[in-house]
Structure 1
Amino acid sequence: MYKEVLEGMSEGVLVLDVVGKIVFANQAIAEIFSLANDGFIGKRLLEVIRLVELSDLVEAVRRSGQPVEREMKLVFPAEKNLLGLANLAGDNIAVIIRDITAMKQLESLRSDFVANVSHELKTPLTAIKGYVDTLVAGAIDDPDNNRRFLEKIAKNADSLAALIDDILALSRLEVHRGIAPFEKVFLADEIEKALETLAPAIKEKRIEIVNLSGGAVVGEPSQLYRAILNLLDNAIKYSHPGGKVEIVIAKTEKELCLSVTDHGMGIPAEHHARIFERFYRVDKARSREMGGTGLGLAIVKHIMEIHGGRVELKSAAGQGAKFTLVFVSRHL
């Protein structure tokens, strides 16, 4: 009976006798270490699992007679992070092994995210503090500079607010929180709203907008608006003055594709694989200068995943960029 219970466990269970030979191993052990399902009972541990850290764990229990827990790193045949807990079981030694690779990856992502957020928050805060200190030191009475410094403070405060807004939006999307019920959404309406929001930037850069849009999908209007806004905002920012941005919707029986194309500087191929990562920028200095938070495309990606679709990129250096929102048939 106990063997059936152990076989059903997701953790690996290994039992060694007094001379270090394997007397029991459940299916999870075979999966964790990529072993054949039989043939290892009665063999010594290192003959079957060539992981010195595991052997050391067993020996530590044998010497101390106390439970021992350690993290281990498996390199071959696949790289994994393992947590082992070993203890005496009568004359034998029992070892429970848990694959913690996914947990370690999440910890790494969380650590990277905190580091990136800290850095991104520090940049505008440092600038704001610098200008405030200069004003306090006497520049407030300098009519040639005080207004310029205040405008710089306001610009950095806006960047800070935008960054916090994007961080909160991304965190809600990742846990699917705050998503309103889906409904029929006419994409032309959301495109028009986004263009109205971006009208000052369009006018300032003299961008020609070619809007060949139409069609509807089932989705969350405010999230789809945000995805479209982010793509159009990027297209305008990275277009040359007097350039053109094209919005096209194409529909087939299985998909509806909304593409936003600019004819600006483009994105080199080596950046395509990471372009939708949080805080990833092709040109960090230029992105910050233009007011980007580094989260816009990550937000677009998550919005499309919530809608069962995807976002695609086609671009090359100096040849503009085409981002496409792809909606599959069940959302049409």
Structure 2
Amino acid sequence: MNPKLLFWIPALLRMCFILLGAGVFWWLFGLVYGLAVAFLSVFILLFIQLSYLHQLGDWLDDPHSAKLPDGWGSWTNIFSRLYRLRRDDERNQAELTEWLARFRQAMHLLPDGVAIMDDVLFLEWCNPAAERHLGLTLERDKGMRVTNLIRHPDFIDYIILGRYDNPLTLSFRDRKLICQIIPFENRRQILVTHDATETQRIEEMRRDFIANASHELRTPLTVIVGFLEIASSEMNLDAETRMSHLKLMTEQGHRMQRLIEDMLTLSRLESMDYPLRSEPVDIAALMEQIVQEARALSGGKHQITSSVNGPGISGNPEELRSAFGNLASNAVRYTPPGGTVHLAWQMGPNGPQFVATDTGIGIDQIHIARLTERFYRVDKSRSRETQGTGLGLAIVKHVLLRHGGNLTIKSEAGKGSSFIVSLPAA
């Protein structure tokens, strides 16, 4: 039915009832009573309408669907329609609030920085990643011009030129940031920042690894190729010279073999195709094997002692033997003849520990943070004397990562070193 008819038919019926009642009283009691009944009925209707208008005004000040009155007559339909409209608005508002909360949560978890600015670069909102990247604080900096907050010449030039198609690479706050401004709507811009510091560091490590590996392989290959060229051009070499050349080529061949084996070990430790296979480790047998290898490497030039006084653990025995053996061999190599090396398995504050202590040449503090990098050398000339590959501590680090352990290095130049491996208890 037409909504207008739904309004006017009841209204006309009410007026008819008022006129009929007034007519009845006029016929029974006279004209005065009839007019009085008509006036009183109209006054009551008017009072009811004004009352509902007042209730509607109060509700509009605080429009909640639960507070809407029921109404009477035509007001029933009006309040019913208002209730449906308000209920739909509340549902839409609840959905919008939920989506806004999800959006903010997603922006908070996003690793890239996002800052929203208006058309004149005043900051409206930013996520925590943008705060870390750009040194912003939303509560403090909201409403301030971004160019006043990020005072970097390259960033200012990027803003002034307005060439937003290409990102800007920026060195800012000891980070390498990739920034790009994305215009949206008519009066909004988004500043997106990506922290490329770790990517740059990995790329530098990759380049250094290739360069160092090439250098380490080139030296023994140069020696071997040189001696082969001498042998092919000088057919009448005496036996002593030939044996000396063969000995040196064999040493360099073994050096390349050790280097390649260590590189393959590192590759296997980093690969997801080789998950850790944990089993109970015979610590006594493992320590005995490491001590024997250290004494064989020393050749009687050092005093090597050991102690086993710690709990058992679970792990990969071969990987742990490789890690502990590298630390033991380093202690022997970098301790002058007559020095002392002590290898211990003991209980530490937070779990079992393997400790390799020596009275060797020690390490300056500026080098300790980088010792586990591949091919990092404290003294390159001495590393050639010790015949190390430069990958031993890198292997130790990756073995410990797989076993949930960590390496602590305590050393002082000229006073020896202590390498402490801490592992979780079985």
TM range (shorter): 0.7 to 0.9
Q: Is the 8 A contact 1:173 1:302 kept in 2?
A: yes
RMSD (CA atoms): 2.9
Determine which of 158, 165, 172 is the counterpart of 1:67. 165
- Paired residue for 2:347? 251
Q: How does 1:78-227 map to 2 (within 5 A)?
A: 78-92=173-187, 93-138=189-234, 141-175=237-271, 178-197=274-293, 200-202=296-298, 204-213=299-308, 215=310, 216-227=312-323
Shift of 1:139: 5.5
Q: Equivalents in 2 of 1:95, 1:262: separation in Å?
A: 54
Which protein has the bigger helix share?
Answer: 2
Change (3 A) 1:82 1:312: closer
Q: Deviations over 1:70-89 (max 9, x none)?
A: 21221xxx322111223443
Q: Which runs of 5+ in 2 are unaligned?
A: 1-95
- 1:46 paired with 2:147, answer yes
Q: Equivalents in 2 of 1:3, 1:53: separation in Å?
A: 34
Change (3 A) 1:95 1:231: closer
Q: Is the 8 A contact 1:17 1:91 kept in 2?
A: no
Q: Deviations over 1:61-108 (max 9, x none)?
A: 3xx6x623221221xxx3221112234435444432222222222222
- Paired residue for 1:228? 324
Shift of 1:304: 2.3
Q: Equivalents in 2 of 1:247, 1:13: separation in Å?
A: 52
Size of the alignment, in residue pairs?
Answer: 322
Q: Equivalents in 1 of 2:225, 2:215: separation in Å?
A: 15
Q: Is the 8 A contact 2:406 2:421 kept in 1?
A: yes
Q: Equivalents in 2 of 1:23, 1:235: separation in Å?
A: 57
Q: Is the 8 A contact 2:302 2:339 kept in 1?
A: yes
Q: Is the 8 A contact 1:176 1:306 kept in 2?
A: no
Q: Equivalents in 2 of 1:5, 1:229: separation in Å?
A: 52
Q: Is the 8 A contact 2:309 2:345 kept in 1?
A: yes
Q: Deviations over 1:109-140 (max 9, x none)?
A: 22222222222222222222222222222167
- 1:283 paired with 2:283, answer no
- Paired residue for 2:133? 32
Q: Deviations over 1:226-263 (max 9, x none)?
A: 11211222233234445543322222574222223333
Shift of 1:162: 0.9
Q: Deviations over 1:132-187 (max 9, x none)?
A: 22222216743231221122111111111111211222233345652441111122
Q: Is the 8 A contact 2:117 2:125 kept in 1?
A: no
Matched residue SS, 2:408 = strand
Matched residue SS, 1:83 = strand
Change (3 A) 1:236 1:39: closer
Q: Percent of counterpart pairs with the same letter?
A: 31
Q: Equivalents in 2 of 1:39, 1:254: separation in Å?
A: 42
Matched residue SS, 1:211 = strand
Change (3 A) 1:123 1:256: same
Q: Which segment is superposed worse, 248-257 or 180-189?
A: 248-257
Q: Is the 8 A contact 1:54 1:72 kept in 2?
A: yes
Q: Which segment is superposed worse, 151-160 or 171-180?
A: 171-180
**Amino acid aligned to 1:72:** L
Shift of 1:316: 3.5
Structure with the greater alpha carbon radius of gyration: 2
Matched residue SS, 1:111 = helix
Q: Equivalents in 1 of 2:242, 2:252: separation in Å?
A: 16
Q: Equivalents in 2 of 1:229, 1:271: separation in Å?
A: 22
Q: Is the 8 A contact 1:230 1:297 kept in 2?
A: yes
- Paired residue for 1:21? 121
